[in-house]
Amino acid sequence: MEEQLISKKELLEETSISYGQLYRWKRKNLIPEEWFIRKSTFTGQETFFPRAEILKRISKIQKMKENLSLDEMREMLSPQMADVNITFAELLQKGLISKAALQVYGEGGVTFTARALLSLYVLEGLLQSGNINLDEGKMAAEVLKVYEDSELKANTELVMLRKLGVTTCFISDAEHILFEPSVKVVERVALAAASEELKTKWMQEDHQWT
């Protein structure tokens, strides 16, 4: 299915922001460069954006700017996570991760880094969805753990597929992924969005990423 786009003019009108605000947020990396799509039209070159993503992002920025600086928002919206070390007991205390997710993750370390925490958080969401079983959760955990040493990009996804009862799992940073009709997409998790959600919950608990 073709991606739904919104023109820059429509975006400014719909969100009631100015041209200056839009490009200031771009310079501060609050809006990804790849979302600014140049296309030829009958009037010349115009800028378009992925509709759903840009509207969601601007709404979030407008809410956050009441309490956060541009630099703080950039940290929140960046797919990258500054490192932390947190114990599982602390995670349980804050209600971020369950014992079930840790057991499926298969690591009993004393502390967890930020990327390991993101893997746990994604795994928690998969298990809570009810769309996967424990063996499929362990498969996802292994893929996530391998990816923890790689750079987290804005369009990176964890994809789980099932065909004829057989499940497979992989990481993708491609813009489009096409599957044959007999393949069922079980889960498709945007890791950058999961990171953003995790940071928001973390800040709500009065923690700071250091």
Please compute the mean of the pLDDT values over residues 182-209 and round it to a whole number: 78
Confidence label for 137 from pLDDT (cuts 50, 70 and 90): very high
Backbone φ and ψ of 116, nearest 5°: -65, -40
Alpha helices in 78-190 (DSSP H): 88-94, 99-105, 114-129, 134-147
Helix (H, G, I), strand (E, B) or coil at 77: helix
Task: Report yes or no: 155 and 192 within 8 Å, Cβ to Cβ.
Answer: yes
Of the CATH numbers 1.10.357.10, 1.10.1660.10, 3.30.2130.10, 3.30.750.24, which one belongs to the domain with range 5-77? 1.10.1660.10
pTM flag (> 0.75): no
Please compute the mean of the pLDDT values over residues 26-32 and round it to a whole number: 89
For residue 44, is pLDDT > 70? yes
Q: Which amino acid is at 69?
A: S
- Per-domain residue ranges of the chain: 5-77, 86-204
Report the chain's mean pLDDT, rounded to a whole number.
85
Please write the tens of the pLDDT for every residue from 75-106. 777 766 666 777 878 877 877 788 888 889 88
